[in-house]
Amino acid sequence: MKEEAFEVAIAGGVLCGHRSDGDGPPALLLHGGAAVPDYLEALAAELAPFFTTYRYTQRGTLPSGGDPPYGIEAHVEDAVAVLDAFEIPQAWAVGHSWGGHLALHLALAHPDRLLGLVLVDPLGAYVEVFADLDASLRDGLAPATVARLDDIEARRREGDVTEEELVERFAIVWPRYFADPESPVAASPATHSGVAASIGVNRSLGEHFQRRTLIDGLPDVRLPVLFVHGELDPIPPESSLRTAALIPGARVEVIPACGHFPWLETPGEVAKAVASMLG
């Protein structure tokens, strides 16, 4: 698979991304994080037989720019801006983790721009998942490391955290998302983090959870929707199962012995699930 770089203008800067040379229908890849650089190159390669992919680093994190606000609504409109820049009337949305959550909001706001959704280990519609996630990420860590994570998280919620601290946090927790944290593919790729973007996304998430935006809106979605979820993901598969139950006709594939990054941990399984849905 070959890719070419692109830039899409938004208020206060550009979104920096890559377009693949595939022959399939367009697919917009939305990375997780939030507020880390795009890391979905290997997922784009796995999906190359099915889609022409467009992936980009979301607003507020280098190399992308963009003015505030950094809430869900702004990220939804950025996704539409990428489609508009390439004159794409409709595309698949392929989202991972927070990017899967973003794809669900995109389906509510702009269903006419989508062909369907592929959600890989997404953050679902239910806020309760955060308790399970936090417990799993901290399980087995040294008390001093847990205390450091708690301090960074507390100051992020207060809006008083540095980029270096957020990068440090990702270095600690990223391997914990893998079934084997010692795997060579489990190291964090996050060399940058957008501080204001991270704070803004997390506050916006809290507001939408409180308003039940997805819980109340997803039953009206009429698109093909596939959830792919690792059995051993710290975000438990039950999150995808409960969220899928809100969407008429949604399918869920649980990948055994796999964590949060199936295209890295069990290459080919996401492609197999997509092929099954499309076939």
Q: What confidence score (pLDDT) does residue 9 get?
A: 98
37 and 11 inside one domain: yes
Reported as a single tens digit per residue, the pLDDT across 4-17 is 999 999 999 999 99
pLDDT, average across residues 146-155: 94
Contact at 8 Å (CB) between 116 and 250? no
Task: State the CATH number of the domain containing residue 82.
Answer: 3.40.50.1820
Concatenated DSSP letters for 83-146?
HHHTT-S-EEEEEETHHHHHHHHHHHH-GGGEEEEEEES---S-TTHHHHHHHHHHTT--HHHH
pLDDT at 150: 94
> Is the predicted pLDDT of residue 23 greater than 90, yes or no?
no
| Domain housing 163 | 130-186
Dig out the tokens for 215 from the structure.
Answer: 């819980």
Residue 138 lies inside a defined structural domain of this protein: yes
pLDDT, position 279:
86
59 with 182, same domain: the answer is no
The reply to whether 152 and 81 lie within a common domain is: no
Q: Which amino acid is at 275?
A: A
Q: Is the pLDDT of residue 158 over 90?
A: no
**CA pair distance 124, 277, nearest whole angstrom:** 20
Q: Which of 15, 93, 13 is nearest to 5 (CA)?
A: 15
Residues 136, 269, single domain; the answer is no
Phi, psi of 86 (to 5 degrees): -100, 10
Q: Are 48 and 78 contained in the same domain?
A: yes
How much of the chain, in percent, has pLDDT values that exceed 90?
96
252: in domain = yes
- What percent of the chain is predicted at pLDDT more than 70? 100
Please report whether residue 213 resides in a domain: yes
Instruction: Name the β-bridge partners of 16.
Output: 7
pLDDT, average across residues 157-186: 95
Rounded to an integer, the average pLDDT of 236-259 is: 98
Q: Please write the tens of the pLDDT for every residue from 129-139.
A: 999 999 999 99
* 155 and 30 both lie in a single domain: no
Q: Would you say residue 89 has pLDDT above 90?
A: yes
Q: Are residues 209 and 82 in the same domain?
A: yes
At 84, the amino acid letter reads: D
Cα 13 to Cα 196: distance, rounded to the nearest angstrom: 15
Q: Kindly tell me the sign of the dihedral angle through the C-alpha atoms of 272, 275, 277, 279.
A: negative
Residue 42 placed within a domain: yes
Statement to judge: residues 96 and 15 lie in one domain: yes
User: Which residues share a beta bridge with 225?
Assistant: 117
Which tens digits make up the pLDDT trace of 46-80?
999 999 999 999 999 999 999 999 999 999 999 99
268 located within any domain: yes
- For the question of whether the overall pTM of this predicted structure is more than 0.95, the answer is yes
Q: Residue 186: count other Cβ atoms within 10 Å of its Cβ.
A: 19
The separation between CA 9 and the C-alpha centre of its own chain, rounded to angstroms, equals 22
Predicted pLDDT of residue 22: 83
User: Quick check: 125 and 100 in contact, CB under 8 A?
Assistant: no
The rounded distance, in Å, linking the Cα atoms of 81 and 158 is 31
- Whether 208 has a pLDDT exceeding 90, the answer reads yes
pLDDT band at 157 (very low <50, low <70, confident <90, very high): confident
Helix axes 143-157, 195-211, angle to 10 degrees: 80
Amino acid 230: pLDDT: 98
Q: How many domains does the chain have?
A: 2
- Which of 142, 157, 186 represents a domain boundary (last residue)? 186
pLDDT score recorded for residue 184: 93
Q: Are residues 171 and 240 in the same domain?
A: no
- What pLDDT was estimated at residue 2? 94
Within this chain, do residues 166 and 102 fall inside the same structural domain, yes or no?
no
Confidence of residue 95 (pLDDT cuts 50, 70, 90): very high
**Could you tell me if 236 and 158 lie in one domain?**
no
Query: How many Å apart are CA 83 and CA 90, to the nearest integer?
Result: 8
Q: Is residue 123 part of a domain?
A: yes
Domain assignment of residue 100, yes or no: yes
Reading the block at residue 68, the tokens are: 């505030």
